[in-house]
Structure 1
Amino acid sequence: MPKADEDAVDRRPLHERIAADLRDEIMSGDLRPGASLPSTLRLKERFKASNATVQKALQVLKDERLVVGRAGAAVTVREHRQETIRPADFGAPAEAGKPYRWLTEAGKRGKRGSIQLLDVAECRPPADVAMAMELPEEGTAIVRHQVLSHDGEPVELVASYYPIEIARGTALADQRKIKGGTPTLLAEMGFPPRLTVDRVSARIPTQEQYEALRLPTDLPVLRTLRVVYSDDERPIEVTLMTKAGHLYELQYEFT
């Protein structure tokens, strides 16, 4: 592939560059689950690297749980867990008596979904959230911090913000989980979701994100800022969702 800038130089350590190229081949499917990676000798020749550098690169991929292997044996691609997420699957209120849609979708994938409520508090949101909520300069909101897990392993860090005038005195402000999820509760309160807008970016994880998601390296995370509007284009929920970038991709469908 031609460089956009002929003077551009990848200044990352060589082992990180090797890991990046192999990671891309794994995630794109060129190296399929169960397939053996090229031998150390071939990798040394391909990347003009020492044995120690190649082994360091392979260790990065092992730490990321993309490959498995031990000294003296072939390194193979794991049945890795990169999943395609359709955001449209999660926004609608759950049917009567049904659990939160995120839990239902986890079950469809053969996983045991669980949600840990970390904290509920009143706070001044981050600037981009406050802007999306159309808060005045000193305005505050109710925030619900949660960690979502599959089979006991954290996969998503979530912070959902609600306008004070909507949330105060309701279950949104209580230190407990909400049956059916917040979309169901908001609809019951007279604020049905009418429009959802996502803004997705890739970022280096913060310390909180790194620890909460138990990330193996400082690979980028997918950060989604989701704004849910009800009648009269009123923002009723703004959520920051953070996922490990090497484990998930988002699928949006348009007509």
Structure 2
Amino acid sequence: MGNSEVGASDRRSLHERIAADLRDEIMSGDLGPGDNLPSTTQLRERFDASNATIQKALHLLKEERLIVGRPGSAVTVRPRRQRTMRPAAYMAPSATGAPYRWLTEASKLGGEARSKLLEVAEVTPGADVAAALNIAKGDTVLLRRQILLIDDEPVELVKCYYPLKIARGTALMERRRIKGGTPTLLAELGFPPRLSVDKVSARVPTQEEFSALRLPSSLPVLRTLRTLYSDDERPVEVAVMAKAGHLYELQYEFTAQ
């Protein structure tokens, strides 16, 4: 079926279109970790493209950390093609003295996981965060901003917002990492997590996200706006999380009702 039958024609340059098709095969597993990509000759024939165009497409995928290889040698899919994150596995508070659950769960994927606190400040949040916290637009909240890394590669930019009525006079206001993570502290403060609601969207990265995640291009990021509710359906935390969409996927599990 031609493009004219399914919608507008693809106006991207040919090397971008070739990279998009190969990226999809990598992310779907048709080209698995460690697999060789088709040869340059095969790719030229498949896409009716010049050698230079094929090389430009492969260069994009190398910058995106999806493939490895040098000119004249086989190009292969990186061993860690795409990581699957399971939010439900790290939502609950950690046990007393235990590390933040995200760190222990991320380490299971291979590599050393760590977090880096970037900022703690009182700010005026965006309209979506204000609505999720059920506060008036223009009200001030506490922001804790951090970057999560595996093997020193940035995985996720996280901005967590808290009502000042909850945060003031607590460790949330201090510029230091919190042992066990904020869910553990909130539970200790009398706000145990009861319900988490995620809104996930794909977006073009902001300048901040582009820089913090070291993105090679304007590939979409996965943006999650998560609202954490405690007793009486009280919102106690809103987290805005962004991760590279071509390197990470989210897995949610549901039971039939």
TM range (shorter): over 0.9
Which residue number in structure 2 is paired with residue 123 of structure 1? Answer: 123
Contact kept? 2:33, 2:81, Cα under 8 Å: no
Report what 1:164 is aligned to.
Answer: 164
> Runs ≥4 in structure 1, deviation > 2 angstroms?
1-7, 106-111
- Are the structure 2 counterparts of residues 225 and 25 from structure 1 closer, same or farther at C-alpha, using a change threshold of 3 Å? same
Partners of 2:119 and 2:34 lie apart in 1 by 41
The yes-or-no answer on 1:8 pairing with 2:8 is yes
Deviations 1:135-175 (CA, angstroms, capped at 9, x unpaired): 11331110000001111111110000000110012111111
Identity %: 67
Give the Cα–Cα distance (whole angstroms) in 2 for the partners of residues 150 and 7 of structure 1: 40
**Root mean square deviation of aligned Cα:** 1.4
Q: TM-score, normalised by structure 2?
A: 0.95
- Structure 1 pair 96–7 and aligned structure 2 pair: CA distance change class (3 A): closer
Within the alignment, does 1:223 sit opposite 2:232 as a pair?
Answer: no
Taking a change above 3 Å as real, the CA distance of residues 248 and 7 of structure 1, as seen in their structure-2 partners, is: closer
The answer (yes or no) to whether the contact 2:32–2:81 under 8 Å persists in 1 is no
Structure 1 pair 5–30 and aligned structure 2 pair: CA distance change class (3 A): same
1:64 aligns with 2:72: no
Aligned to 1:213: 213
Determine the structure 2 residue equivalent to 1:32: 32
Q: What SS class does the counterpart of residue 210 from structure 1 fall into? A: helix
Give 1:74's aligned residue. 74
Report the alpha carbon displacement of residue 83 of structure 1 after superposing the two structures with TM: 1.0
The more displaced of 84-93 and 141-150 is 84-93
Report the number of matched residues.
255
Deviation string, structure 1 residues 76-98 (Cα, Å, up to 9, x no partner):
21213411111111111101221
Q: Secondary structure at the match of 1:201?
A: strand
Taking the aligned partners of 1:131 and 1:252, their CA distance within structure 2 comes to 24
SS at match of 2:254: coil
> Offset at 1:3?
5.5
Structure 2 portions without partners, runs of 5+: none
Deviations 1:202-227 (A, max 9, x none): 01111111111111222111000000
Counterpart of 1:242, as a letter, is A
Structure 1: unaligned runs, 5 residues or longer: none
Cα distance, 1:8–1:139 mapped onto 2, change above 3 Å: same
